[in-house]
């Protein structure tokens, strides 16, 4: 079993993260429980930043907070000197509550509401990434009312398709995101933005997909964008100061995954930007990237308590846990795969094969198929690895199941950063029926 970061098997045969036996965390905070290895998050953030620093280039590494957003996580990003990518009013509000410097916040999204955009302007965030013509018009009107100007990027779809699941590719032409690079939409958007006194156009942004294991897509996207930048320089006298090539850097969920180190992704991006800038006669723009999953994904581990078992003779053995698609919907949503271990018996032989079933009332609530484990017992603790991205952020209350707690661990200390929901929390927004429904 490959363990990430500070995770290890301790002398008791238990899983340990951040210097803490996870069984003590399960006992203290209950299960399901998300555990984050803070040291690993810090390490990943510093590696991305160091790659740019060693190249002596202006850059911003913005944490894509949709992967996991909470006040504590945003404060950790600030401690590490990251910028921040938000995609909703809720993520922006969380960043403001966390005290994150607004000038380092970038606001994405394909349907930002007037209220969300107004919040962004009120807090004078660093950049709005304009996604469509509707948004240009709304933002321009809000700026005029407030007497403000705002720095913007234009999100473009460069026609580059990353090799990943169809549901998480976003750089191809047929996408709900951005202005198409090849049908004249970007040129129309540039004209509108440059002619408006509400905007300062910094440059362009693209995002070609998620869980990407090579660099070819980033290089191809840079090539396509610079070809257009050369045209726009001639047509509009527009020279970008910023080029944002997005995120999507992969992590290792299972032994089949082979992600690249952070410095390799960044090195190839820098190489492509430098080569194109030299070829087309541009100064090297400030490069922005947006790692999310690659900062927090494999830093997260989810603990579950094992409950019922069901043997289907000749077919399979089901082992149920006290969570499921309510705290990790990714397997049901796009067949995401994970590895796991019995956390209280890490050194036991794996002589049984089981399928891990969630407790939600859906036959599709299956977390892992055909997992090799020791013979499991009622009350064992299962640790599912690499759940730090899109676990809690996609968590839900299906079947009115409360969302789990979140704990940060580092150097032998644990800190509760999100409390477990209670049943009272589940019903706190419900309103009673005022009167009996009339009988027909």
The per-residue pLDDT for range 100-109, each reduced to its tens digit, is 999 999 999 9
Residues in the chain: 440
Known binding residues for pyridoxal 5'-phosphate are 248, 290-293, 390
Task: Determine the pLDDT at residue 169.
Answer: 46
- Set 127, 143, 360, 361: catalytic member: 361
Task: Determine the pLDDT at residue 324.
Answer: 97
User: 8-37+297-427: what CATH class?
Assistant: mainly beta
Query: Residues in the chain with pLDDT < 50?
Result: 165-171
Task: Determine the pLDDT at residue 168.
Answer: 45
Task: Determine the pLDDT at residue 319.
Answer: 98
Arithmetic mean of pLDDT over the chain: 94
Known catalytic residue at 361:
yes
**97-105 long-range contacts, CB within 8 A, separation 24+:** 97/71, 98/71, 98/72, 98/74, 99/75, 100/74, 100/75, 102/126, 104/60, 104/62
**Topology (CATH level 3) of domain 108-291:** TIM Barrel (3.20.20)
CATH 2.40.37.10 boundaries in the chain: 8-37+297-427
Task: Determine the pLDDT at residue 99.
Answer: 98
Known binding residues for substrate are 293, 330, 334, 362, 390
Closest CA to 165 of 331, 290, 395: 331
Name the packing angle between helices 38-55 and 71-79 (round to 10°). 40
Q: What are phi and psi of 432, to 5 degrees?
A: -75, 155
Known binding residues are 248, 290-293, 330, 334, 362, 390
Spatial contact of 398 and 325, defined as CB atoms under 8 Å apart: yes
CATH 3.20.20.10 boundaries in the chain: 108-291
Task: Determine the pLDDT at residue 172.
Answer: 57
DSSP H helical segments within 131-253, as ranges? 133-146, 185-195, 216-236
**pTM (predicted TM-score):** 0.94
Task: Determine the pLDDT at residue 107.
Answer: 98
Residue 88 DSSP symbol: S
Quote the Cα angle for 395-95-253, to 5°.
Answer: 40
């Amino acid at each position: 079993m490959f363990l990430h970061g500070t995770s290890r098997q301790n002398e008791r045969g238990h899983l340990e993260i951040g210097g803490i036996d996870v069984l003590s965390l399960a006992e203290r905070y209950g299960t399901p429980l998300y555990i984050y290895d803070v040291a690993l998050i810090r390490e990943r953030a510093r590696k991305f930043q160091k790659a740019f620093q060693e190249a002596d280039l202006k850059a911003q590494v913005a944490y894509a907070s949709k992967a996991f957003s909470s006040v504590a996580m945003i404060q950790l990003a600030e401690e590490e000197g990251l910028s921040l990518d938000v995609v909703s009013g809720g993520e922006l509000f969380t960043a403001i509550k966390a005290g994150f410097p607004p000038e380092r916040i970038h606001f994405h999204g394909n349907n930002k509401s007037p209220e969300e955009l107004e919040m962004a302007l009120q807090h004078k965030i660093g950049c709005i990434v304009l996604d469509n013509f509707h948004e240009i018009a709304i933002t321009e009107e809000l700026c005029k009312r407030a007497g403000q100007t705002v720095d913007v990027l234009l999100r473009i779809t460069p026609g580059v398709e990353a090799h990943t699941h169809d549901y998480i590719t976003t750089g191809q032409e047929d996408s709900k995101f951005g202005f198409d690079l090849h049908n004249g939409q970007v040129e129309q958007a540039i004209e509108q933005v440059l002619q408006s006194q509400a905007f300062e156009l910094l440059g362009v942004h693209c995002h070609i997909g998620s869980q990407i294991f090579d660099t070819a897509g980033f290089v191809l996207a840079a090539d396509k964008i610079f070809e257009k930048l050369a045209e726009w320089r001639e047509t509009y006298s527009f020279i970008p100061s910023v080029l944002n090539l997005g995120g999507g850097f992969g992590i290792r969920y299972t032994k089949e995954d082979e992600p690249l180190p952070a410095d390799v992704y960044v090195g190839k991006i820098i190489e492509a930007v430098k080569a194109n800038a030299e070829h087309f006669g541009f100064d090297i723009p400030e490069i922005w990237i947006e790692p999310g999953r690659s900062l927090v994904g494999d830093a997260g581990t989810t603990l579950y308590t094992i409950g019922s078992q069901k043997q289907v003779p000749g077919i399979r053995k089901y082992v149920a846990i006290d969570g499921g698609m309510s705290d990790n919907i990714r397997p049901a949503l796009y067949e995401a795969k994970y590895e796991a271990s019995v956390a209280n018996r890490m050194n036991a032989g794996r002589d049984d094969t089981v399928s891990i079933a969630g407790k939600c009332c859906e036959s599709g609530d299956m977390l892992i198929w055909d997992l090799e484990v020791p013979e499991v017992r009622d009350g064992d603790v299962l640790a599912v690895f690499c759940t730090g991205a899109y676990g809690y952020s996609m968590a839900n209350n299906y079947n009115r199941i409360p969302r789990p707690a979140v704990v940060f661990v580092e150097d032998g200390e644990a800190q509760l950063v999100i409390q477990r929901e209670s049943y009272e929390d589940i019903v706190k927004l419900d309103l009673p029926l005022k009167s009996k429904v009339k009988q027909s």
